[in-house]
Chains A and B, each alone.
Chain A
Amino acid sequence: MARFFFKRLLISIPVLFVVASITFFLIRAAPGDPFADEKKIPEESRAEIVAFYGLDLPVWQQYLRFLANLARLDPGYSYSHPGYSVTEIISTHFPVTMAYAIPGFLLALLIGIPLGSIAALRHGKPGDWVASGLAMIGICLPTFVIGPLLALFFGGVLGILPSVGWMSAAQFSDQFSPISFVILPALTLAILYAAFVTRLSRSGLIETLRADYIRTARAKGLSSRRILWRHALPMSLLPVINFLGPALAGMLTGSFVVETLFNIPGLGQFFIEAAIARDYPLLLGLVVFYAALILFLNLMVDLLQAALNPRIRENIGR
C-alpha cells in the first residue's frame, strides 16, 4: 500500500512538469503583453519593470528561471497585484475557497447518497421517480441559475441567509453570523454533484442488490437491514467513490462560478483575472497549484477505493 502511494506520488512529478511546461509555452505563444494596457508610462520605467520581472530575457532563459522557481515552490511576484507573491495570494485566498467547498462537497454526499439509496430501494415506485426526477433537474439547471434562485429564496423571500458577500461583511450587520455566509455558496456548489451522486448511488445499489453474494446473504437468513448496511451499501458506493475525483476537479472550476455569483474573495476569481491580465507568474502558479491539488486528491480517492474494495486492494498489494 505504501509502495503504491509513493509510486503514484513520484509519477505525479513529471505530470506536473509537463502541465507547467505546456501552460508556460501556451501563454507565451498567445498575443498580449502583461503591461500593455497600463497607463502611459515612460519608456525607461517600462523597461525597468520588464527587466525587474525578467521579461527581457530570451524565452528559454525565462523558462529555466520559471522551472527553478517552481522547484523552490515560489513562482515569484504577481504583476497585477504588485507587492504580493503568488504563494501569498494562494495561501490567503485558497482557505476562503476551502471554507465553502469542503462543506459543499460533504453536502453533495449527504444529499446524494441517501437520496440515491432510497430511490434504489423503491426501484420503479413513485419514490424512485421523485428522487430520479430531482436528480435530473439538478443536472439540467446550471449552477448560475440555481445560485441566484437560492439567493432569491433564502436571502430575499425568507430573509434568513445573506444572499451575497463573504464573512467579513458580517461586521457591518448584526443580522448574520459569519458562518451563515458559507451556507448558500456551499449549497449552490453541492446541488449539481448531489444530483450526479444520487444517480450513481442509485444505479450502484440497484446493481449490487441483484448480485449473487446478496442472494447468498439472504439465503443465509440475514436480516434485510444487515444485508443493506453491511453488504450492499459499501459495495454500491464504489461508483460514487470513482466519481469523487472528477467531482473534486469539477467543484474547483465550479468555484469560479460560485465566487462570481456570491462575490466571494476566493482563489477562483484570481485565476480568470490573472488569465485576462496576462499575469504570468500568478497564472502559472495557479495552474500548477490546481493540477497538483487534483492529482493529490485523485490519489486519495484511489486509496479510499482500495480500502473499500477487496479486489482492488489485492491488485495494489501485489
Chain B
Amino acid sequence: MSGDLAPEETIGIGRRVLRHPPAVASLVAFLLIATACWIVPAFWTYDPNETRLSLGPTAPLTEIYELTSPRGVEEETRLIDAKRANRLIENGQLALLGPAEPRAPGSDLEKAEIPTLGSPDTTIAWIEIPPIIRNASGNPIRPVWISPSQVDPYFEELAQSLPEGMATLPAPPESYVSTYRVEKTPLKFLAGTDELGRDLFTRTLVGGRLSIAVGIAATLVSVTIGILYGGIAGYAGGRLDSLMMRFVDILYALPFLIFVILLMVVFPRSLLLLFIAIGAVEWLTTARIVRGEVLALKKLPFVDAARCLGLPHRTILLRHILPNALPPVIVYATLTVPTVILLESVLSFLGLGVQPPDSSWGVLLNEGAERMQAYPWLLIVPATLFAATLLSLNFLGDSLRDLLDPKSRR
C-alpha cells in the first residue's frame, strides 16, 4: 500500500475525496451535526438546563397548557401537557358532578358547566377537601389533604372507602373549591421534554458536544501515541523494533477495557482521565499501521537524501517520514472517533463516564433506555442523533479507506 504513496500522490488525496460523493456527503453530515451541537443550543428558544418540574416528560410537539390558580394555595403557575390537562378536567368534573354526598353537602356546584380543552381559556373547578379521619372513639387521627395533582387516582377511591361520618369537614365546603384556568401556551418542544421537563432537543445537542469532544480528543491522544511509538519502532528497526512490536502484541491480547473501567472507578473521575484512559487503549492499531508505513518509507531515496544532508534522526523521522505516513493514519483515526464515542457511551452507561451535572449521549441514552417503555422519545431522539453521527463517521472512514486502497482504485 505504501509503495505507491509517493508524496505528490498523497497531496492529491484531499482533492480525490472531494470528488467522491459518499465521502463528501458523510463529511458534510458529520460537520452539520457537530456545528449544530455547538451553535444551535445558543439560539434555541429553550435553555437545556431549565427545569419544569410540573411538566415532566412530554411527547414531542404536544401542546402545553398552563394551569393558573387565582385563589389556590399555590400561586405559581404550572405547566401541563394536553394529556394531563384533559385528565385534570375529567377529574375536576368527576369531583364536581360525582356523588357529592359526603364531600360537599348542599353545594350547588353540580350545575357547573362542562368545559372542554378546545375553548380559548378553560376554567375548571374542583374541590380540595381535607376529610378528617377519626378513630373508633371519634377522635381525629389526621386530616387527609387531597391536592389537585393527587386528585386523579385517589379522590374517588378514598371518598368511597371511608365509612359514613368518618370523613368530616372542618370548614364549609365552598372554601375548598378551587378554580383553575387552563390556558394554552405557545410552548412546544420539538423533541419533547425529559423527566425534569427540560427540552430534550437542546439537551441532546449539548450532550453531543461532550461526546464528540471526547471522541476527537481521545482519538488525538491515541493517534499521537501510536504515531510516535510506531514511528520509532519502524525507524529504529532491528531488535528494538521487534521488542516494541512484541509488546504491542501482548497488549493486544489483554482485556484493555477492563483497565479503562479500573482507572475510571479507582481514580476521581474527570474528563481528562477519560481522554487519557480511552486514548491509551486505542493507540495499538495506529502504532502497527505507522510502523508498516515507516518501514516502507525509510527505504525511499528522499530519506537517503535527508540523511546525506546530515539531518539528525529526529528531524528525518518527524519532518520527512511521518508526514508521509499520515494518510492511512487519518483513515484509521476517522474510524477511531466513532469507536471512542461508543466506548464513552458504554462507560457512561455503566455509571463510570460522564457524571450527571454534565451530560453526554451515553448519559442520555442510558436514561432513555431505562424509561423507554413509558416515554419512548427519551431513547429515540438521542439514539437517532447518536446513530447518525456514528454512521457518518464510519461511512467517511470506509470511503477514505476505499480511496486509499490501491486495489479498489483500479
Residues on A lying within 8 angstroms of B by beta carbon are 15, 19, 23, 26-27, 30-32, 136-137, 139-145, 147-149, 152, 156, 207, 210, 245-246, 249-250, 252-253, 256-257, 260-261, 271-272, 275-276, 283, 287, 290-291, 294-295, 298
Contacts and interface: CB of A to CB of B under 8 A. Distances in A.
A156 B390 CA distance: 28
B262 interface: yes
Nearest to B408: A206
A295 B253 contact: yes
B390 A139 contact: yes
Given A145-B369, A272-B265, A294 B383 contact: no
B261 A136 contact: no
A276 B265 contact: yes
Contacts of A26: 262-263, 266
A145 B338 CA distance: 16
B230 to A, nearest CB: 19
| Across the A-B interface, the 7 shortest Cβ-Cβ residue pairs | A30-B266, A275-B265, A140-B390, A253-B257, A148-B369, A140-B387, A298-B253
29 contacts: A15-B253, A30-B267, A31-B267, A32-B266, A139-B338, A140-B338, A142-B342, A142-B386, A145-B368, A145-B383, A148-B369, A148-B372, A156-B373, A245-B253, A249-B255, A253-B255, A253-B258, A257-B349, A275-B262, A275-B265, A275-B266, A287-B258, A287-B262, A290-B258, A291-B254, A291-B258, A294-B253, A294-B254, A295-B254
B375 interface: no
B107 to A, nearest CB: 45
B86 to A, nearest CB: 25
Given A136-B395, A139-B390, A252 B255 contact: yes
Contacts of A250: 257
A205 to B, nearest CB: 14
Nearest to B268: A31
Interface residues of B, number: 39
Interface in B382-410: 383, 386-387, 390-391, 394-395, 407
A142 B382 CA distance: 12
Contacts of B342: 142
Nearest to B260: A253
Contacts, number: 108
B350 interface: yes
B406 to A, nearest CB: 13
Nearest to B401: A203
B369 A27 contact: no
Interface of B: 250, 252-258, 261-263, 265-268, 338, 342, 345-346, 349-350, 352, 362, 365-366, 368-370, 372-373, 379, 383, 386-387, 390-391, 394-395, 407
A149 B261 CA distance: 26
A283 B262 CA distance: 9
A142 B255 contact: no
A15 B265 contact: no
A178 to B, nearest CB: 25
B387 A23 contact: no
B239 to A, nearest CB: 18
A286 B391 CA distance: 35
Nearest to A137: B387
B196 to A, nearest CB: 21
A152 B390 contact: no
Contacts of B349: 142, 144, 257, 260
A147 B373 contact: no
- Residue of B258, B362, B373 contacting most chain A CB atoms (<10 Å): B258
Contact of A271 (B261, B345, B346, B391): B261
Contacts of A252: 255
B262 A142 contact: no
A136 to B, nearest CB: 6
A152 B250 contact: no
A140 B384 CA distance: 10
Contacts of B394: 136, 139-140
Contacts of A144: 345-346, 349, 365-366, 369
Nearest to A245: B253
Contacts of A210: 407
Contact of B350 (A145, A256, A294, A298): A256
B380 to A, nearest CB: 10
Given A27-B262, A253-B257, A136 B391 contact: yes
Contacts of A275: 261-262, 265-266
Contacts of B252: 245-246
B372 A142 contact: no
A149 B349 CA distance: 16
Contacts of A291: 254-255, 258
A268 B32 CA distance: 38
A290 B255 contact: yes
Nearest to B393: A140
Given A250-B257, A253-B258, A275-B262, A147 B387 contact: no
Contact of A140 (B267, B368, B373, B391): B391
B391 A145 contact: no
B346 A142 contact: yes
Contacts of A276: 265
Contacts of B338: 139-140
A171 to B, nearest CB: 25
Contacts of A15: 250, 253-254
Given A30-B266, A30-B267, A271-B261, A141 B255 contact: no
A26 B263 CA distance: 8
Contacts of A261: 369
Q: Which of B265, B365, B379 has the most C-beta atoms of chain A within 10 angstroms of its own C-beta?
A: B265
B399 to A, nearest CB: 12
A144 B360 CA distance: 15
Nearest to B382: A145
A139 B387 CA distance: 9
Contacts of B267: 30-31
Contacts of B407: 207, 210
A143 to B, nearest CB: 7
A294 B256 CA distance: 11
B350 to A, nearest CB: 6
Nearest to A297: B253
A257 B346 contact: yes
Output the residue of B252, B369, B372 with the most chain A CB within 10 A. Answer: B369
Given A142-B365, A142-B386, A291-B255, 6 more contacts: A26-B266, A140-B390, A142-B362, A249-B254, A253-B255, A260-B349
